[in-house]
Structure 1
């Protein structure tokens, strides 16, 4: 029987050019168990990806701040404090780094993301003043409520799906996947993963990016 999956997107389902590997559009809809997309991106991104993949919309977004399963949306974080941090950061002469449209933060509900080419020290100081934390996902610095993480999101999704979190197989590449690895029954880090993710994973795959993830899925199917 197929194991339920919790898959990070960027660096895990994508190719080195950041595009989603089109092979997932064939593989995941045929997976005979729940598939959860878990990301640091704003909520609409994984929801849209599920829609276009014709997948049931099981989503962990904003590093666990927003969860969707069985049509039920759960907010685990409070977006007001991160927005105050962002305002103070800009008032101090810094920039969030995304340009006037700021499509990275436009639809975020529970956190704020700052480009990694912006100063980290002042951001961490402001976050601490508001009782928040900053996590580096490799894509951005995310200002969020302490204790809100993908692993907590997986527990919420598993409860809504009437599954034990230990049934899930997790695949990821970043610091923000470490908590997922700690909750799922089995975990894989792709070769392009950061050091924290590699240390936390049960297995570090030799291949990178989507090639590694597709290889793990082939291996799991072979065990059915």
Structure 2
């Protein structure tokens, strides 16, 4: 998809627009990994449900919803936590993940986030390690404990193999009484591939990894929030036509 990212977006009040499933890091952010200010203008104006789907722990997307002024509709921890309209579903074997982390540390591994470890402090279903961590050892431990290893480009994750963002989107859509195929998904990492498989229309940003690009219906010329804005502008134009 050739894109021309707008600086802002005029959304007609009567526009029949689809629900969205949006990743956060690399999708609603700048190349410097900060939230793009356009998020705070566009998301509150979008008339259909917006579900934020992220690998971050539960509080992060909830906080973003709060500060953006949108309903709390999130898929966190790569699908391990789904919170939509005050209904919370938690899946995954947290005890198995904790045992894997213990084994990783016993063999000399470090998650790499320091003593406070605010990346994992509030996680309920999985663990994330800095990309400077011992990848080979993490993969070894993941295989030993029958966990999925994910490299999102921002962190390494060990998660339950039965958990995914795509499965989380099915749950979110059910709560919202929407067909999952009605959603338009935008993302940039391998953990978004399952979302793309469930959504009816999917876009990988220019900064996406090859797994995400291969899974998406379309690959954008622009990356980060520029690419996301281009998708939203196209959806508005389509609805207005």
Q: TM-score by structure 2 length?
A: 0.91
The partner residue of 1:105 within 102, 120, 125 is 120
Q: Where has structure 1 moved over 6 Å in runs of 4 or more?
A: none
Instruction: Give the distance between the partners of 2:175 and 2:116, measured in 1 at CA.
Output: 35
**Alignment-derived partner of residue 70 in structure 1:** 85
Among 235, 238, 241, the alignment partner of 1:220 is 235
CA contact (8 A) 1:78 1:109 kept: no
1:109-124 matches, cutoff 5 A: 109-124=124-139
SS of the aligned residue for 2:41 comes to helix
Matched residue of 2:35: which SS?
coil
TM-superposed deviation, 1:24: 1.2
* 10, 33, 54: which one aligns with 1:18: 33
Question: Could you tell me which of 147, 155, 158 is aligned with 1:140?
Answer: 155
Instruction: Report if aligned partners of 1:9, 1:38 keep a CA contact under 8 Å in 2.
Output: yes
Instruction: Give 5+ residue unaligned stretches, structure 2.
Output: 1-15
State the TM-score, normalized to the length of structure 1: 0.98
* Counterpart in the other structure of 2:165: 150
Q: Which residue of 1 aligns with 2:23?
A: 8
SS class of match (1:59)? strand
**What CA distance in whole angstroms lies between the structure 2 residues aligned with 1:180 and 1:15?**
22
CA shift at 1:147, angstroms?
2.3
Secondary structure of the equivalent of 1:67?
strand
Give the Cα separation in 2 of the matches to 1:78 and 1:29.
34
Bigger relative contact order (CA 8 A; separation at least 6): 2
Aligned counterpart, 2:141: 126
| In 2: Cα distance, 1:45 partner to 1:20 partner | 12
The structural deviation recorded for 1:78 is 2.1
Superposition pairs of residues 172-187 of structure 1, within 5 angstroms: 172-187=187-202
The CA deviation at 1:93 is: 1.1
Q: CA deviation at 1:140?
A: 0.9
Aligned mates of 2:108, 2:93 — CA distance in 1 = 25
In structure 2, what is the Cα distance between the partners aligned to 1:68 and 1:8?
Answer: 15
Deviations 1:100-147 (A, max 9, x none): 110110000000111111111111221222221211111111111112
In structure 2, C-alpha distance between the alignment counterparts of 1:191 and 1:147, rounded to whole Å: 29
Greater Cα shift, 171-180 or 78-87: 78-87
CA offset digits 1:66-114 (Å, max 9, x no partner):
0011100001212111111111111111100101110110000000111
Runs (5+) with no aligned partner, structure 1: none
Equivalent of 1:85 in 76, 82, 100: 100
- Answer yes or no: is the 8 Å Cα contact 1:2–1:221 preserved in 2: yes
In the alignment, is residue 59 of structure 1 matched against residue 74 of structure 2?
Answer: yes
- In 1, the alpha carbon distance for the partners of 2:145 and 2:74 equals 28
CA distance in 1, matches of 2:38, 2:86: 26
